[in-house]
Structure 1
Amino acid sequence: MPHTLEWNVRLHLFEDDEGTTKAHLVLDTGTTELTGHGTAHCHPADANVPEIGDELAAGRAMNDLARQLQKTAERDIEAVGAPAPRTHEREAAGWPT
């Protein structure tokens, strides 16, 4: 059955004097609010480019929020009696995190 929804997202960015940028992301679905957080730090030897800190902190907050949404969906799937989706965890190529 088709339906249309509008979810609202608010992103707040804060930078302190030490080069740390924090992102606070709020998703309001109308029935639920989820909050994502992200942080980025500027190394003292790097050029101070605030946009880069904003992008990193916001991206990390969005990743945090995405993980929360997926966990919420998985709980909702299980609540209606469907089996939990399988997670395919693979080792990433490249340098370890």
Structure 2
Amino acid sequence: MSHTLEWKTRLYLFEEDGTTKARATLDTGSTTLTGHGAAHRNPADPDVPEIGDELAAGRALRDLGGQLLALAERDVEGVGARSGTESRPVMGWSL
């Protein structure tokens, strides 16, 4: 069984007073997840906005990834399979 999907991801960055915030959204067509991340510049550090962007975006994407994995684990358990914490994968799904 093969299929093709397109999931849309958007990443928003906001910077103010040495703090960069990021919001990452994933729209699967049936579910929307939102991850958040932030980076705080030490006042003694040079002002390099790209570093704050990278840190905040990475943290938002990591948060989003964690939510996606948790959702997948709930779905696997919902179809009667054991979670990835078991000693061997069930139904071919390894979490």
Fold shared, TM-score > 0.5 on shorter chain? yes
Identity rate, percent: 65
Q: TM-score, normalised by structure 2?
A: 0.88
Number of equivalenced pairs:
86
Q: CA deviation at 1:86?
A: 1.1
TM-score (norm 1): 0.87
Code of the residue aligned with 1:79 in structure 2: it is G
Q: Which runs of 5+ in 2 are unaligned?
A: 87-95
**1:84 and 2:79 are equivalent in the alignment:** no
Deviation at 1:66, TM superposition (A): 0.5
Residue 8 of structure 2 is matched in structure 1 by 8
CA distance in 2, matches of 1:55, 1:80: 37
Structure 1: segments with no counterpart, 5+ residues: 88-97
Q: Distance in 2 between matches of 1:40 and 1:31?
A: 31
In 2, the alpha carbon distance for the partners of 1:10 and 1:42 equals: 24
Q: Counterpart of 1:59?
A: 58
In the aligned structure 2, how far is the partner of 1:26 from the partner of 1:70? 15
Runs of 4+ in 1 over 2 A off after TM superposition: none
